Structure 1
């Protein structure tokens, strides 16, 4: 009799679990057949009417499949009764071991990602939670009620573009730890702001599977064909659904694999905040709606020079400033004219040279630091090329040749700005917006009225790249020995060996 209460508690717990599972299964079956639950359902026709060529609309390869069930089992599927259980999917939310806040490399910046969920959390398909790709980046623990000695196939599947994010076969024990890995886990990479479902699925196998006979590509996998090929049972399968929308973590991943370049949008948001926090610029709009990435490459041979009485030797330079680069550069690394690549939003299927082929651009590299928080225009122009045809920078007309940045502080705002032109620009007119009282080494580069130049030529800003430059000894050398912008005493002030000696005694 002493064991009766404990046994009763276990029975009640088991009964509660069965009741909860039954409710979850009923809810999931309803979601499987709901034709308006997801973006590819009946509202797709309203959101993407005929003739809409937007990337989101073009991503739906099977618009006739309006429910999850038809996305999984084919156009004619109507019976969800094969769904027998809801899979338990528990994601980790790893924290830095040093106790610092979570961060990750974004589009040319470090993104802060404070923890908003428990360190371990289970996805619930019926609670309307929407997750970020960053939170689902690590392979989760996956468990289900398994039959003894049975083999299972487990997968994570995107029913939008029919992409397989993970695939495991010959799994035993109702836990994703034993078996053969066909496709290692890749977390959700939703490229769009609209919410998309990602499915965890478990199917019982009829027999052990030969891994060499399973498809070796992840994309365009139609599940009903894979089920038939592998001989999987659809009489009793399990499911769970994670709803996600895009974030900067997904944007970086998708650009790295050459699928889509959402980085201009995120980079524009960050740079807009950066500039507005410093008072804004009269030459640029407050909200930077960017659609093209400007990737800048610098190359230069090894060099030896003497600055402020000391000989320096520098190694060859080969550095690219793009969405992966957050380093600080010195003048010595930027001394030669850069190579510039333009990468538009859509990069899958067509190279940038085709996507931007019929466009006309102006590329301006300038320093508007003196304009921050001001209304007067007072920038320095370091480089300008107009009438660029497509992505070929060399096809344009150079108005100002390259002038390396020679900052003496850490907060100069060097910007590569790309503008779309509506008409050809005359080079003489483009060069008339600079001051007439500049130093002889930089004629008409000072007091540059960038805002007037942009407005007079009806230019539209489409791309930006912030060049982060620090003072170095090469800048000192150039400042007094080559450009004569400073005297030797001014350039070398504070340098060891150049400091004035204090009197003794």
Structure 2
């Protein structure tokens, strides 16, 4: 909201009088929110951006977005509901946390557990703090029934809908659409509104529309014959957060997870004193989803026979688990997911995918990665049609701290396999022949590659890695690889 619509004290003590007058002014203000008069400046014709998605740019005020185009009379706004949110804390006393975009996000409490929404204050709330249904109260008429809704006037999305609510408190009515907290997906402040309408009669819940989108409040008001002589509105301004990004990705709407993944990974790398092959700031726009599939396998390691079930595991924004080496033994299928999940990558563009072990150069100044996989000249991000420079070599992690990364780039021009192979160091051990001391940074810069996406692969050593290390790769002897294993240890004398 611009500063001229703020009246921070008007609603802080009382929701009547001055508060109501300021709310009516806000309700009709055509410059109060992003979809108002400044939209034409921020989003001129021809500008393509998620921030410019506005299906009805002619609706510039909250009033017009709620009561329809041409609505100018705000006198029906008769009261401001009291909206109180409660934050539930972990019972064990730990900080709040949730599953974000491929990581656990810690969220220390920064506001009171119970907080009342002041619709005119300069308060911006993250969706995570608004995920639980609030307490909503209003001045009610005796024996009256009410319809209560929470509504996003941007995509015309209904976040909650209740009918036949008696008295002045949100309880004991019929739930048509259960509460789903704000899900602002973009880096701009967006208003959400709580609306309370008096009913003229009891409503049959089975006859009430239960669609969330698109919903036009003025049509719903007409269909349910709700009173507009005196209805209530409260406004909540929200930002966006990683909680929203993970949820929005889960319903295949938008994919902003790369933004948060890049921020987290930038911080992680800097805490480790940096990587010479990657930029300090990782501005990502594409998710790299990696799926490993493999049939069942039986193998003998360190004197023991093992049977492993078939593998089908996807490493994406939901997966934060460690993979065992045996699960990564066959090259994966890779899917690239842009911001607009349904969009296709341009067929006239080419891309590069690399899987690197960057552990040797973490915190160092020299480029010194190990290349496990490289595919170049991928047309339209169809990896099966690219040119494979290095075939898949499974991770051979001897510890949990290996930094395996899938990195996805946009190319400017064609890359030859021979040229790509010139960035390898000499004197590689036999098990990583022509793959060690790879100068990934030089390769990226020389070929003008633009980093689009990353995926961190976390692999733990297992019995299959032990078997591979001594029986196939010849990294170690069986005695070295199996040291400490009871089935291979020399038996103590019994006499």
Deviation of the 1:472 alpha carbon: 1.0
* Counterpart pick for 2:427 among 415, 428, 437: 437
Question: 2-side partners of 1:92 and 1:115: how far apart?
Answer: 12
* Residue 399 (1) aligns with residue 394 (2): no
- 1:380 paired with 2:375, answer no
Correspondent of 2:360 among 346, 356, 370? 370
| Aligned with residue 46 of structure 2, among 48, 51, 56 | 51
13, 19, 43: which one pairs with 1:24? 19
Residue 166 of structure 1 is matched in structure 2 by 160
Q: CA deviation at 1:312?
A: 1.8
The Cα shift of 1:381 comes to 0.5
Normalized against structure 1, the TM-score is what?
0.93
Question: Matched residue of 1:437: which SS?
Answer: coil
Q: Distance in 1 between matches of 2:304 and 2:423?
A: 39
The residue correspondences of 1:19-418 to structure 2 (distance < 5 A) are 20-57=15-52, 59-347=53-341, 351-352=342-343, 354-418=344-408
| Cα separation, partners in 2 of 1:217 and 1:358, compared to 1, 3 Å | farther
In 2, the alpha carbon distance for the partners of 1:318 and 1:24 equals 58
Structure 2 unaligned regions, length at least 5: 1-10
In 1: Cα distance, 2:30 partner to 2:493 partner: 87
Q: Let me know the Cα RMSD of the aligned residues.
A: 1.9
Question: For this pair of structures, how many residues does the alignment match?
Answer: 485
Secondary structure at the counterpart of residue 260 of structure 2: helix
Cα distance in 2 between the residues matched to 1:364 and 1:500: 43
Structure 1 residues 355 and 215, CA gap change in structure 2 (3 angstroms): farther
Distance 1:399 1:491 in 2: 31
* Secondary structure, aligned partner of 1:242: strand
The alignment status of 1:476 with 2:471, answered yes or no, reads: no
The whole-number CA distance in structure 1 between the counterparts of 2:384 and 2:144 is 64
Per the TM alignment, residue 23 of structure 1 is displaced from its structure 2 partner at its CA by 2.1
Q: Secondary structure at the match of 1:169?
A: strand
SS in 2 for 1:131: coil
CA deviation string 1:221-258 (max 9, x = no partner): 11111111111111100111111011000001111111
Query: What is the CA distance between 1:19 and its match in structure 2?
Result: 5.9
Distance 2:159 2:128 in 1: 15
- Residues 302-360 of structure 1 deviation map (CA, whole Å, 9 limit, x = unaligned): 2121111122222211110000000001101111110101000112xxx24x2444431
Cα distance between partner residues in 2 of 1:359 and 1:39: 34
Deviation string, structure 1 residues 238-284 (Cα, Å, up to 9, x no partner): 11111101100000111111110000000000011111111111110
TM-superposed CA distance for 1:504, in Å, is: 12
Q: Which moved more, 1:177-186 or 1:265-274?
A: 177-186
1:497 Cα deviation from its structure 2 partner: 4.2
Deviations 1:76-128 (A, max 9, x none): 11121111111111111011111111000000000011111122211110121
Given candidates 441, 448, 469, the residue that maps to 1:458 is 448
**For residues 465 and 162 of structure 1, what CA distance do their matches in structure 2 show?**
34
Query: Shift of residue 295 of structure 1?
Result: 0.3
Cα displacement string for residues 360-414 of structure 1 (whole angstroms, at most 9, x for unaligned residues):
1100001011111212111110001011112311010111111000111111000
Q: Which stretch shows the higher mean deviation, 495-504 or 195-204?
A: 495-504
The separation in 1 between residues aligned to 2:395 and 2:137, in whole angstroms, is 57
Any idea what SS the aligned residue of 1:441 has?
helix
Alignment partners' CA distance in 1, 2:348 and 2:337? 15
Q: Are 2:304 and 2:487, in contact at CA under 8 Å, matched by a contact in 1?
A: no
In the superposition, relative to structure 1, how do residues 18 and 274 fare at CA in structure 2: closer, same or farther (>3 Å)?
closer
Kept in 1: contact 2:345–2:381 (CA 8 A): no
Deviates further, 119-128 or 241-250 = 119-128
| Range with greater deviation from structure 2 (264-273 or 178-187) | 178-187
